[in-house]
Structure formats: C-alpha cells, structure tokens
Amino acid sequence: MKLIIVESPTKAKTLSKFLGKAYNIESSMGHVRDLPKSTLGVDTEHDFLPSYIIPRDKVKHANVLKKIAKKADEIILATDPDREGEAIAWHVAEILTDASKKFSRIVFHEITETAIKEALLHPKTIDLPLVDAQQARRILDRLVGYKLSPLLWKKLSKRWLSAGRVQSVAVRLIVEREREIEKFKSVEYVTIDGVFENQITASLVSKDGVKYESMLSFDLFDGKYTTTVTSIQNEQQAKDLIKDFQKPFTVTSVDKKEVHRSPSAPYTTSTLQQDAGRKLYFSSKKTMQLAQKLYEEGFITYHRTDSVNLAEKFIGEVREFISSTHGIDYVPKAARLFKTKSKVAQEAHEAVRPTSVTVNSSQLTGNNGDINRDHVRLYELIWKRVVACQSSDAVFDATTVDIQSSNGYVFETSGSIIKFDGYLRIIGREVEDKVIPNVAVGDVLRLEAFTPLAHTSNPPPRYTEASLVKTLEEKDIGRPSTYAPIISTIIDRQYVTREEKKLAPTELGMMVTDFLVKYFSSIIDLLFTARMEDELDAIANGEKAWQPVIAEFYEPFAKILATTYETAEKVKLTEEAIDEKCPNCTSPLVIRSGKFGKFVACTNFPTCTYTRQYGEKIDVQCPKCGGDMVVKKSKRGKQFYGCSTYPTCTFAAWKKEDIK
C-alpha cells in the first residue's frame, strides 16, 4: 500500500476520486509541527536553531499518521506547490522518520486526474532551499513578534499588543495615508462646458494653445499629490471668461481613428484579491478561503501564485472553446503570452485559472453541497478573466472634435463606439458608447449655452483591501500568500477598522505606529522590508544560507531593542472625557481603548470597576429596556446597533430599521 499525505481532508477526498485502492490518502490537517506558543522557540545564541514541537491539538492525529505510515510500502508527500507546502512536507517527513520508509515528493498545480497521475510518474525529493526560506520567514517573524511585543506591553501599558515584521508596515501605510487626508487642503476650481447644436457638449481646454489645468493628480503608490494651481479658480473668473468668448465657433479638428483594446492578463493571487474586492466586495481573507475550496475540489489551479503564465495545452483548449462558442473572429491569430512583472515569480507555476474551460459556473454545485453562491461567483470571475485573455481585441471607432471661438478659446469633446466587441463579449462592457454627431472641419456650430461647473479637489482616498494589496505588491512587501492574513491580523488587533469598506487606523494603531517609527524606523521601513523579501527569495533559490540572513537582521535589531527598553518613555493612550457619571459611584466616565476597541470606564478604577461598551449614540431608544442605542462594531469589524447598557441589556440589531 502506498500512502499519500496532503494537507486537508477535502484535498484528500478529491484525490481519492482519481486514484484506486492501491493508494491510501491521508491528511496532515495543516502543519504538524511549529514553534511553541509559550516560548521564543529560537536559540539566538546557537545559529538560531528552532525548537519545533507537535502542538497539543495535533498530537493525537500525528500518532495516527505514524501508525498508518508504518504499514505503508511507500510514503508520498503531496502538499501544496509553494514554500509553505514544502515546509509541511518536510515536517511530516521529520515526524515519520521512525517509519523507516522512503519518502518521495510530488508537485502538481491543479487537482485533476491527469495532473495527479503525471506527478506520480515524476517523483522528486523535498526542495530544502524552499524549506529553508519558509523557516527563515517563520523565524524572522517570531523574533520580531516575540521580542517587540513585550516591549509594547511595557512602554504602552497594554499586554495584548503585538508587532509584526510585515503587519506593522501595512499599518504604517494606512496611518500615513490617514495623515495625508487630515492635512489635505481642498482647492476649488471651475470647469466650463459649452453646449452646441446637435447636442454636442464640449469642455473648455485651452486658450491660444495654453491649456487650462483643472485636476490635482494623486499617486496612489507614492502617496503624493502633484499639485497644480487651477487656471479657473472660481465662478466669477468663469463668468468673465464666458463674456470674452467671441463668435463664430468653428470646428477646427476632427480626429477619427480605430482604437484596439486588449484584455488583461489572467489572475495572480494579488489581482484576484483586488478584483474580488472591487467587483464582488469580498475581503481578501474570504477570497482566499473560497479559492482554497475551489482548488481542493479540483475546479481551479493553485491559487497562491504571482505568475501570469498559462500552460500551452490549456491555451489551445481555450482558443478552441472561443472559436466553437463565438466564432473564429474572436480568436486572435496568435496565442497571447503574458509576462510576469514580479522579478521573483516562478514561471513554472501558472496563473489562477479553471482546470477545465468547459466547466462553467452553473456546473459547480451539482451534488456538492459545500459549494455555495460565493464560490460560484468567484469561479465565474476567474473563468471569464482567463477566457477573455485569449480572446481578440475589442475595436472602437474613437472621435475627438475641437471647436474654437474666433478669439482662440478651444473646446474639446470625445467619444467612442464599439466596432467589434472581442473579449468584451466574455467579460461584459463597463462603459457605454458615446456617439459624437457627424461634423467636419470648417463647420460653424451654433452656441446654445455655457455651463460653469464648480469642483472641489478631494483628499487621497483611504485604502480599501484591494488597493492595499496592490500597494503591498507594488512595493514588494510580503508575498501573495501573506496579504490576506496581514489584513486580517491588523483588523483583529484593533489597529485598523473597516469604515464603509475602507481601512481606517484606530487611535491605538496610530500610537503603536508612531512608537515603532520613532524607535524601530529601520525595521518597519518599506525598503528594508522589501529587501528582506529579496533575501528570502535568494534563500529559496539556493543562493544564500538562511542563518547568516537572520544574523544580519537580528544583531542590530537586538541592540536597538535593548536601548529602547532603557531609554524609551512610557506612552499612554489619551482618555476622552464624556458628560456622564458612573452609575455605581458617580465618578466621571471616560472613553478608553482596550483589546476589543473603545470602551467606557470609570475614572475611579480600580476602586470602581464599572465599564461598558462604547458606541456613538443614535436617536433611538432600546425597545427592551429603554436605554440609549449606540453604534458598535463586532470583533470582525462589522457595524451593528446595540444597547448602551450592555451587558445588563443584550439587545442588538444589524440594521437601524430593525430596532422596534
């Protein structure tokens, strides 16, 4: 009997569909070994030797695996095709060494019969450089987390605080964006639209060849504005200009051209999370959970990837599918090949794609009750993207018309109509046609009206999960598999909250960030964090040993840590007074911050221990006890309405209209 070990029961069940009784397929139930929770688990004096243990909740299952392994003729490790999967395979082999069996490692990027049987024909050994890279990341994160967190407890007087090598950088980005918003000064400006005959609306763009500026551009990644003083700053200036316009208004330019628009590359982990957030409103965590299920059920390829590569065989299948479904005109003459921008992408991997192009979203559920509507929606997004990427360009007829007054004021309008929908037939159109009426150079157009439009420049937007993921990727902070847990962690730690799907820092998040920037600026520096990712990649490629990389980081870090313990002053969260007295002792009440966010507490603590949850009052009374209803947030950051007297009264509602 041959024993195949995978990570999850679902994956084991899917493999069982393809392999006969000659194989026993078991799950490791994730990681079988890890660093201990109660201690550092890393010997900083002896080459950073890790002390791995089998967690208490995994001991029973590990013993079962050992018994099964002893009866096996061969043990095949079939964990996921990335660093973490390689590390799990290594840990499994380590705990089963007394089985005295030969281990082999197989790798596949999709759970299909063809892929599994092909992998079994080409067994490998465990890739130790990949294991070392994962170990290095785990040890780095443990050193930062277990060394910095106690410092935060001491200096910020909160024993539940934590710091992380990458999570702290993510919080810093959100905090710095919030401060850009706070210091932003709006600029008012005016644009002028002219309405001409034939329902042509055009915007004033220049005078005697000099353009009117009307926008402030914001660089989402650099977090900086390019500020331009607008040419038309108020309505009075606009009115003065309108008085200066002189007839006739003549068409001076008609530019017609055919424009081709090409489809986007297939999804990587990052772009999938971004689009699922933008189009389906899924959190990064939810997207990855749904994708994990789709992968383990055999519907999509491995979903943790930074490659946009597609298998040649799959490209052929997609092109044939497009031709048979939509016609030969929708298939480009040559297959589209996309180049991965990431310098560390593994091109042997593929983009996220369906395992079969012929399986549409309606076929997913079938007899599988575990596949729900959200799985179907995500699959449909993936399916459309990859089919579109091998479809023909969309072709538009684009027209730009310039209309000039006799004294040099130029108005411009542009539009386009679709000539051939191409890949848009697959993904749908997001913008409707804008038809420009037929005019020719020299035509004189009757002016019907001028409309000055007042605008106010907006501050930079708060990050959404999608834009934060995009920024992390652009700046080489973390890797595809880390984005979802990073965001989930900083929300769970109450450093960041979701407000109308945007990420906003809490007072606690700002305070912790300020402390870390002041004393550990080199550690939570964006360039430093990106360079560390490069070092981990070098380890994975076998170019560097992991211990020197850790040592190079730890030695200066330990010195800064020791100095900060001695010199840093304690920081206290500010308390916000409220116009209320404690119901128990009549002392003033204040708003404080705790592990689960803000709460109301008595200033007479510890003599008086009165507390209650904090929430903004609304003009509705609790239908159960008559107390004030307040806006609250759950531990997951979701807003709800609860009674201010909690825990005395536990009434709660998700919607305001449900309070009756």
Nearest to 306 by CA among 170, 186, 430, 482: 482
Whether the CB-CB separation of 177 and 462 falls below 8 Å is answered with: yes
CA nearest to 296, candidates 57, 78, 74, 21: 78
- Report how far residue 34's alpha carbon sits from residue 62's, in angstroms, rounded to the nearest whole number: 13
The CA distance from 451 to 454, in Å, is 10
Tokens of 596: 């689960």
How is residue 468 written in tokens? 């934060």
Question: Helix axis angle, 526-540 relative to 167-183, nearest 10°?
Answer: 150
Q: Which residues are catalytic?
A: 302
Residues 239, 230: Cα–Cα separation, whole Å:
16
Q: DSSP per residue over 319-338, as a string?
A: HHHHHHHH-GGGS-SS----
Element (H, E) at 303: none
Nearest to 17 by CA among 240, 209, 271, 299: 299
Distance of CA 441 to the CA centre of its chain: 49
Segment 373-380 long-range contacts (CB within 8 Å, at least 24 positions apart) = 374/280, 374/282, 374/286, 374/290, 375/290, 375/293, 375/294, 377/280, 378/276, 378/280, 378/282, 378/287, 378/290, 378/291, 378/294, 379/294, 379/299, 379/300, 379/354
Of 411, 413, 410, which is closest to residue 434 (Cα–Cα)? Answer: 413
- 91 forms beta bridges with none
Q: Three-class SS of residue 23?
A: strand
Distance of CA 171 to the CA centre of its chain: 13
